């Protein structure tokens, strides 16, 4: 019978002790490194950040927004929205002019909530907005009522298009400016979701402004008012992301300050295991990549709007759209003509009496301006809408004339022969 060599047992125990000691050292090192960059508490770091953001209440648009957040009528617009907005009508009212007699229910809805629009216009007159940051991990997303702000953006969009149809262009312009300012206000708080919601709100205003400039007849005064709107076309994403990450770390640091080194290690271990098992559910880089795409798409619309203003001025002066962007390049600052999604040029193409303008997206492949809904990476800035088909409801003048001459049967009967009378 063989007996175990005591030296082997001793050697094995040494390895175990060494591994345990190494694990402990790694744990201490990790916890030490966690505090190495900035040994201040989360609350102290937050106080320093908020001190640099501080503005007087009279200059702070967040005060006005918070008044609306406390108003149950203002925060329940989606519950009382008119049934007339069901289906495709919603986008029509949001992006196309409409008269009150076309949708009296929506007109009454806007009138009833006019006070919300007035409050938002008051907020848009202020440049600064300081929604607070927090170290409370349960309250990070409760400082801003994102859902209500989106509903207010829809309300502004509906009302602005009613203004356009009824020739209240100054009022419409003020509401579009308000949409852009709401986005600017949200981006003053370094929180990823604030940036994403800001992009969505500004996109409503930008798309409508682009349509107004490209397809309608703005005056030079209108164009100058649009150019003066609070819309940044400069790339500040690197700086913004740095601030977002700093603010994002504070609630986690606050939580971990109350834990022992062992509990901190466990947190990181289980977070890693959970993230791996769920395919990156907790992966910050995924959320940051999506936010970056949203940010640069909004910037592409903003730069595109500036380009289209220059194109419109060229058309007004010369009588036709330019053949290429080089014809308006001298009237635009250098960054405006650069596609922020890929650092290349925008695609500009003349069409029959009009033009197309779009980004080729991150893949830099020209897919004819087709967007995500068509399986493309392109990001349309301005693609003229297709002509509406002839109407069957009596609104098309040619159809009306044919019916008056030949009667309804002539219009509706099948044609076996293209030359049949």
The DSSP secondary structure of 101-160, one letter per residue, reads GG-HHHHHHHHHTHHHHHHHHHHHT-SB--PPP-S-TTTTTTSS-HHHHHHHHHHHHHHH
In a domain, 124, yes or no: yes
d(CA 135, CA 47): 10
The residue with greater pLDDT, 285 or 302, is 302
Alpha-carbon distance values, 87 to 82, 83, 207 (Å): 12, 9, 20
Counting residues of the chain whose pLDDT is more than 70, the rounded percentage is 76
Domain boundary at 206, 234, 258, which? Answer: 258
In a domain, 66, yes or no: yes
Q: How confident is the model at residue 45 (pLDDT cuts 50, 70, 90)?
A: very high
d(CA 83, CA 89): 10
pLDDT at 21 over 50: no
In a domain, 394, yes or no: yes
For position 279, what pLDDT does the model report? 56
Would you call 193 helix, strand, or coil by DSSP?
helix
d(CA 184, CA 181): 5
In a domain, 246, yes or no: yes
State the DSSP H helix or E strand holding residue 265, giving kind and residue range, or none if neither: helix 261-277
CB 340, CB 235: distance < 8 Å:
yes
In a domain, 144, yes or no: yes
Q: Which of 139-148, 254-263, 328-337, 397-406 has the lowest mean pLDDT?
A: 397-406
Instruction: Give pLDDT tens digits for 106-122.
Output: 999 999 999 999 999 99
For position 162, what pLDDT does the model report? 98
Structural domain span for residue 219: 43-258
Q: Which of 46-50, 225-229, 322-326, 347-351 has the lowest mean pLDDT?
A: 46-50
The mean of the pLDDT values for the chain is: 84
In a domain, 299, yes or no: no
In a domain, 117, yes or no: yes
Q: What is the mean pLDDT of residues 118-131?
A: 98
Alpha-carbon distance values, 311 to 101, 198, 343, 382, 402 (Å): 34, 27, 21, 12, 40
Q: Which two tokens stand for residue 29?
A: 């090192």
Domain boundary at 204, 225, 258, which? Answer: 258
Alpha-carbon distance values, 29 to 16, 192, 255, 381 (Å): 20, 30, 19, 51
Q: How confident is the model at residue 142 (pLDDT cuts 50, 70, 90)?
A: confident
Give the burial string for 30-56 (b: 16+ CB within 10 Å, else e): ebeebeeeeeeebeebbeeeeeebeee
Q: What is the mean pLDDT of residues 249-258?
A: 83
Please give the angle made by the CA atoms of 336, 240 and 186, to the nearest 5 degrees: 90
In a domain, 50, yes or no: yes
d(CA 135, CA 137): 6
Would you call 179 helix, strand, or coil by DSSP?
helix
The residue with greater pLDDT, 269 or 203, is 203
250 and 399 belong to one structural domain = no
Q: What is the mean pLDDT of residues 374-400?
A: 69
For position 285, what pLDDT does the model report? 74
Q: Which two tokens stand for residue 274?
A: 């959970």
Q: What is the mean pLDDT of residues 372-378?
A: 76
Q: What is the count of structural domains for the chain?
A: 2
Domain boundary at 258, 274, 297, which? Answer: 258
Q: What is the mean pLDDT of residues 77-94?
A: 92
For position 353, what pLDDT does the model report? 87
Beta-carbon contacts of 338 under 8 Å, excluding residues fewer than 6 positions away, are: 303, 344, 345
Exposed / middle / buried, residue 268 (Cβ in 10 Å: 0-12, 13-18, 19+): middle
For position 3, what pLDDT does the model report? 52
Rg of the chain taking only CA atoms, in angstroms: 29
Please give the model's pTM, rounded to 2 decimal places.
0.80
Cβ-based neighbour number of residue 284 at 10 Å: 13
Q: Which of 187-191, 328-332, 412-416 has the lowest mean pLDDT?
A: 412-416
For position 70, what pLDDT does the model report? 97
For position 406, what pLDDT does the model report? 44
């Amino acid at each position: 019978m063989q007996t175990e060599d005591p030296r082997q047992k001793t050697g094995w125990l040494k390895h175990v002790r060494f591994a345990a000691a190494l694990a402990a050292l790694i744990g201490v090192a990790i916890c030490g490194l966690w505090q190495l960059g900035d040994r201040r508490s989360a609350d102290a770091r937050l106080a320093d950040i908020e001190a640099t953001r501080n503005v007087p209440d009279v200059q702070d648009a967040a005060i006005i927004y918070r008044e609306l957040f406390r108003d149950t009528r203002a925060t329940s617009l989606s519950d009382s929205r008119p049934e007339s907005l069901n289906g495709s009508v919603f986008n029509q009212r949001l992006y196309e002019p409409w008269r009150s007699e076309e949708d009296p229910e929506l007109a009454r809805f806007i009138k009833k909530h006019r006070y919300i629009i007035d409050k938002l216009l008051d907020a848009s007159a202020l440049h600064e907005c300081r929604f607070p940051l927090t170290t409370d991990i349960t309250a990070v997303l409760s400082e801003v009522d994102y859902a209500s702000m989106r509903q207010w953006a829809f309300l502004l969009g509906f009302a602005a298009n009613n203004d356009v149809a009824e020739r209240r262009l100054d009022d419409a312009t003020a509401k579009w400016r308000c949409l852009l300012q709401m986005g600017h206000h949200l981006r003053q708080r370094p929180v990823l979701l604030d940036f994403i919601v800001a992009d969505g709100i500004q996109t409503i205003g930008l798309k409508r402004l682009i349509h107004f400039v490209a397809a309608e007849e703005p005056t030079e005064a209108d164009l100058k008012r649009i150019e003066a709107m609070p819309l940044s076309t400069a790339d500040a994403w690197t700086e913004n992301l740095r601030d977002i990450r700093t603010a994002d770390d504070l609630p986690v640091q606050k939580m971990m300050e109350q834990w022992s080194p062992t509990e901190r290690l466990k947190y990181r271990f289980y977070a890693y295991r959970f993230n791996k098992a769920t395919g990156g559910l907790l992966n910050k880089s995924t959320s940051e990549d999506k936010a970056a795409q949203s940010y640069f798409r909004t910037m592409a619309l903003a730069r595109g709007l500036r380009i289209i203003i220059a194109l419109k001025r060229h058309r007004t002066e010369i009588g036709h759209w330019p053949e290429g962007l080089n014809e308006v390049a001298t009237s635009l600052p250098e960054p405006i003509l650069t596609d922020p999604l890929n650092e290349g040029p925008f695609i500009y193409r003349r069409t029959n009496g009009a033009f197309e303008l779009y980004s080729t997206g991150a893949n830099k492949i020209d897919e004819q301006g087709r967007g995500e809904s068509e399986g493309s990476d392109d990001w349309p800035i301005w693609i003229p809408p297709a002509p509406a088909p002839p109407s069957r409801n009596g609104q098309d003048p040619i159809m009306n004339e044919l019916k008056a001459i030949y009667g309804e049967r002539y219009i509706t009967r099948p044609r076996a022969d293209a030359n049949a009378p």
